[in-house]
């Protein structure tokens, strides 16, 4: 398990040992969705908020 800082609020966010790159984890402090971009070293980035395109 690794710990990274939330890019949104700076809180420590635990990445499960079985996490995979591309997995979405949620910051326990601010609730933002973070995408795991690396495991060694552990890194996350803000996940794209637009997952569903409702179009017009
Ligand atoms: Zn946060």
pLDDT in tens, 32-51: 999 999 999 999 999 976 66
Model pLDDT, residue 44: 96
The structural domains of the chain, with segments of one domain joined by +, span 2-46
Report CA(27)–ligand 1 centroid distance (Å).
5
Residue list, CB under 5 A from ion ligand 1: 6, 8-9, 11, 27, 29-30
CATH number of 2-46, picked from 2.40.30.10, 2.20.28.160, 3.40.50.1000, 3.40.50.2000:
2.20.28.160
- CA-to-CA distance for 20 and 55, rounded, in angstroms? 30
Quickly tell me which residue has 């402090």 as its tokens. 29
Q: Give the 3-state secondary structure of residue 14.
A: strand
Backbone conformation region of residue 50, classed left if phi is above 0, alpha if psi is from -120 to 50, else beta: beta
Residue pLDDT, tens place only, 9-29: 999 999 999 999 999 999 999
Ligand 1 centre and the CA of 56: distance in Å? 32
């Amino acid at each position: 398990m690794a710990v990274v800082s939330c890019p949104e609020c700076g809180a420590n966010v635990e990445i499960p040992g079985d996490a995979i790159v591309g997995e979405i984890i949620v910051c326990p402090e601010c609730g933002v969705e973070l995408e795991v971009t690396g495991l060694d070293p552990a890194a996350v980035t803000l996940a794209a908020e637009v997952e569903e395109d409702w179009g017009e």
